Structure 1
Amino acid sequence: MNETMNTEVILTAALTGAGDTVGRSPHVPVTPAQIAASAVEAAEAGASAVHIHVRDPETGAPSRDNALYREVVERIKETGTDIVINLTAGMGGDLEIGTDDPFAFGAGTDLVSGLDRLPHVEELLPDICTLDCGSLNFGDGSGVYISTPDMLRAGAKRIQELGVRPELEIFDTGHLWFAKQMHAEGLIDDPSMFQLCTGIPYGAPADPGVLQSMVRLLPAGAEWASFAIGRMQMPWVAQSVLLGGHARVGLEDNLYLSRGVKATNGQLVEKARGIIEALGARVVSPDEARAKLKLRSAR
């Protein structure tokens, strides 16, 4: 992999995520109206793309409700905002193992097949959807994210049939190994698109050497981005760009603009854009991102 600085950067804003962040910041969007407004704010701040989860409007809990995804996308489009739409397809992989009886699954379990994670993608045909490329011990305790090779092959095939570009979510090096295997099997079309996710316990740590190693393992011609969570979010914008990649920021991964100062998605995009431009690069427009990634909407 050629590790040269990227001067034309796709900047994604990950708006809300599925983490337990709603009570920790008043700026985390919850309702479809709030999520759509946050997408418009990010676009106006200069983001090329938005990565979208949805939440139960009453509780703030993560959701897989098609109607919520539909409302968010429709609300964004009704504003006339030009932004690349990236919908998560990772929901439905949560398994909470029982402490005493491993078959007594906990209340946090939400586990469905690979294909059953895609109905909103089938209906809405976004520019991009995510594909989480492996299983992972997710934090301390007994929570595991499940994404098996069989699930991934079935999901990748269906996404390919729909003409949607999968963003291959890589939380550890074994995930990258298997994503490359799917690419070799023809389940992933070129240009392949990788998101190198760092700092999530217990996947790949937010370590520059680890990121560089993963970049070197990417297939030739791949487009890629990376992010780190928490206080490493902004340093990782520079890390990505300097190694030849794109960047992601947003309230899914980090709640703060600076120490003790809660951020909005627009403010995080503005700060990231400033870092990118200070490096001598620029953030590309949504249309330029579509052309770079050969998205269906640009064909």
Structure 2
Amino acid sequence: MSAETIITCAVTGSSLTPSMSPYLPITPEQIAKDSIDAVRAGASVVHLHARDPNDGRPTNDLAVWKEFVPAIRANCEGIINMSASRGATADERVSAVLALRPEIATVIVGSMNYGRFRKAEDQKAVEFKYQWERELLSGPDAYEVVTSNTFGKIGRMIDMLIDADIAMEFECYDVGHLYILDYHLQSKKVKGPIIVQFLTGILGGIPSEVDHLVHLRQTSERLFGRDCVLFTHGTGTRNMRAAATGALMGTHVRIGQEDNLFDKPGVLFKSNAAQVEKVSRILDDLNCKIATPAAARKILGLGERVALP
């Protein structure tokens, strides 16, 4: 494992909603500012989703992505990691990625029951400003959601991103997803180290307890070798604890407003930068050296930063 720890900041996602916190970045301007501030606070990677600026609804509209990705690229040294998770087909999911060419794209490598209603419970959300939030988190459909990441869809996304020479972070919600990834890697040549993100704590996926995190690391190293690059994060209020555990195991870490909004019970984080500052203090207390963006690029096999228009 690396002697330096990379901090990824997941700036805004698709399952926590505006009614949960006034500090969740929604508009392109807010997402860009929070991303730049997070990098200045110590994050090397910003993991991004796009939202409709009118009501915060998740979107994969290229026009929205274009309003903040170039601004982040132009104003900080951070590594841009775009989620490729929205859309019915593989082509739809990677459409914005192929257009904007981030250094990394995140590919989810398994299907599962996704208990979205637990998000509302965990973040203490009982009132919603927008109807789409209520339907997403507490309506009947919240109990019927299955994330669909088929073998065909995953394989098609990997092929397209290899052809585009865009690095991939493989997001795994459970141990079985590691074996799905291994199946694909038997026939697909991914350039550079295998980057795996342990996404833990989703109801329907693996919990964030220490024994599960250790099992994920051991299984990953057995399948992909000790040169694989591993990240740990937990969703919900156990996020910082999961990050600290990951750092002690020698993995890199992810925090951010996508995964958790609360610093402590009843106290909201006021920004992504505040989350980066907190995890940086924790890492410093654990004598973990924090990677700069330049060091992170080397660890992730990305090469030198390339300026894009």
Q: Give the alignment's TM-score, normalised by structure 1.
A: 0.89
Deviation per CA, 1:104-140: give whole Å up to 9, x if none. Answer: xxxxxxxx11122111111111010100001110106
Aligned counterpart for 1:32 among listed residues 21, 28, 32:
28
- TM-aligned CA distance change 1:210 to 1:43, over 3 Å: same
Assess if the C-alpha contact under 8 Å between 1:86 and 1:128 holds in 2. yes
1:226 paired with 2:222, answer: no
Distance in 2 between residues matched to 1:276 and 1:165, nearest whole Å:
26
Q: 3-state DSSP class of the match of 1:118?
A: helix
Matches within 5 A, 1:240-255: 240-255=246-261
Distance in 1 between residues matched to 2:55 and 2:239, nearest whole Å:
27
Matches within 5 A, 1:33-52: 33-52=29-48
Q: Could you say which residue in structure 2 is the equivalent of 1:268?
A: 275
Q: Could you say which residue in structure 2 is the equivalent of 1:88?
A: 83
Report the aligned-residue RMSD.
1.4
Runs of 4+ in structure 1 deviating by more than 6 angstroms, as ranges, are none
Q: Could you say which residue in structure 2 is the equivalent of 1:281?
A: 288
Q: Could you say which residue in structure 2 is the equivalent of 1:169?
A: 171
Assess if the C-alpha contact under 8 Å between 2:86 and 2:92 holds in 1. no
Matches within 5 A, 1:174-185: 174-185=176-187
Q: Could you say which residue in structure 2 is the equivalent of 1:98?
A: none
Deviation per CA, 1:240-297: give whole Å up to 9, x if none. Answer: 1111200000000110122221111010000001111111111111111111111155
Q: Give the alignment's TM-score, normalised by structure 2.
A: 0.86
Q: Could you say which residue in structure 2 is the equivalent of 1:239?
A: 245
Assess if the C-alpha contact under 8 Å between 2:159 and 2:188 holds in 1. no
Q: What is the identity, as a one-letter code, of the residue corresponding to 1:66?
A: L
Greater fraction helix? 2
Give structure 1 stretches of 5+ with no counterpart: 93-111
Q: What is the identity, as a one-letter code, of the residue corresponding to 1:178?
A: I
- Identity over aligned pairs, percent: 32
Q: What is the identity, as a one-letter code, of the residue corresponding to 1:267?
A: A
Assess if the C-alpha contact under 8 Å between 1:12 and 1:248 holds in 2. yes
Q: What is the identity, as a one-letter code, of the residue corresponding to 1:164?
A: I
Q: Could you say which residue in structure 2 is the equivalent of 1:256?
A: 262
Give structure 2 stretches of 5+ with no counterpart: 118-142
